[in-house]
Amino acid sequence: MPVHPIEFRYSYPEMYRIFTEESKLQCWLDVEAALAWAHAELGTIPRPAAEEIASKAKVGIVRLERVKKIEEDTRHDLLAMVYALQEVCEGDAGGYIHLGATSYDIEDTALALQLREAIGILNCDLKALLGELLDKAEAHRETVCIGRTHGQHALPTTYGMKFAIWAAEVSRHLDRLDEARKRILAGKMSGAVGTMAGFGDKGFEVQQLTMKRLGLEPAMIANQIIQRDRHAELQCCLALIAGTLDKIGRELRNLQRTEIAEVSEEARSPSSTMPQKRNPSNTERICGLARVVRGSVVSSLETIALEHERDISNSSLERINIPEGFILTDYMLRQMTKILRGLSFDGENIERNLNMTLGLCLTERVMLELVGKGVGRQEAHEMMRRLAMKSWDEKRSLKEVMLRDAQAKKLVTTTELDDWLNPRNYLGTAVAQVNGVVATLKKRL
């Protein structure tokens, strides 16, 4: 029975399939077939032998169950695959399998094949999320709401700004993933300590031809493994994506609080005991899973410092971290896109919260207008601080307090205050910024 929740709860089939044992085995077989082809091209093994190896290097022929059975004796999964492939090859072809190679020539190169496919899926996921964020930014570029800093009402902003900021961040993740792709999609055929000695004087040619066959870049230099700074970088990319999803999720959760209630997820969970509850469980789930992905970073960084030409301490870790990171990140991205598509806005509550502080969110605007009338900036700041505290204490609007204050009423008129205290008149370049983000980033879709 399944144990890990990604097997039955937190995954989508396209990404999950990439990291199944069958898929991993097929990638190993693909690399062995490519190596045999390279040898045949160089004349170091008969071409019919390479063709036989390639024809049998298929999971439907090399059975996973047989590989596992052999592994019980060999205690080495890659070697078990070699023996299983040899069993099904006719003639003397089996004797040429894995010629000159070491296990991680196959495993690291095969992992690059898996990661190429996985990165492709994440790229599509990020673009889908980016598209949804841009749609929301465009639709709500003039939806004025209260901005909050330190959990307190600050200045007016727009929902378009929120979504545009998130969209710009997702766009940077696409850049990061592209950069990491350049370094992670590399393979090697360098032998036990990286000298290529097992290939005689044809080491460079074997590696070049094998990688060409697989569509990968040959590593510039390696020891027994592809160096783990590449994989750690990729895990950091996943963690950064998870961080953004956590940020979006937290904001949406907070905006759904009963006392705020400006937005709402389409599908919210009930309580088992409190019938009135509508819990933001979808965004909460994303925030929780983001912690798992971020938590893998430190252990991934520690795999960089393997001993001598390599030790095997990275292997067990990567069997968990890499599939888990990709499967969960894919799941979170798709879930967030779905949440955003179903997001609803409560205009009445947005307006209520915008006006909750009776004009105090516009004290900066009034202060700057007073400066324009010749009041010193610090003097104007102190005046507005004093009037704001009075407004808080007396629970009266800032306009009313100012028009009753001996100092302030000499400086302002009712008409001016009506203009200055209108949140829609103090948005600066918010709409223009959103328009710029939308116009620029839609080109990436």
Q: Which residues are catalytic?
A: 150, 271
How far is the C-alpha of 232 from the C-alpha of 245, rounded, in Å?
A: 20
How far is the C-alpha of 267 from the C-alpha of 298, rounded, in Å?
A: 35
- Alpha helices by DSSP H, 92-194: 103-139, 159-184
How far is the C-alpha of 418 from the C-alpha of 426, rounded, in Å?
A: 12
Place of tokens 């997702």: 170
Spatial CA neighbour of 105 closest among 228, 233, 218, 234: 218
How far is the C-alpha of 434 from the C-alpha of 161, rounded, in Å?
A: 6
Q: How large is the C-alpha radius of gyration of the chain?
A: 30
Asked if residues 390 and 401 have their Cβ atoms less than 8 Å apart, the reply is: yes
How far is the C-alpha of 399 from the C-alpha of 413, rounded, in Å?
A: 10
Place of tokens 């144990």: 3
**Amino acid symbol at 22:** E
How far is the C-alpha of 185 from the C-alpha of 426, rounded, in Å?
A: 49
**Amino acid symbol at 385:** R
Q: Where are the beta strands (DSSP E) in 159-252?
A: 186-187, 217-218
How far is the C-alpha of 253 from the C-alpha of 36, rounded, in Å?
A: 55
Asked if residues 437 and 168 have their Cβ atoms less than 8 Å apart, the reply is: yes
**Quick check: helix, strand or coil at residue 429?**
coil
Q: How would DSSP label each residue in 288-324?
A: HHHHHHHHHHHHHHHTTS-STT--SHHHHHHHHHHHH
Asked if residues 158 and 144 have their Cβ atoms less than 8 Å apart, the reply is: yes
How far is the C-alpha of 398 from the C-alpha of 358, rounded, in Å?
A: 6
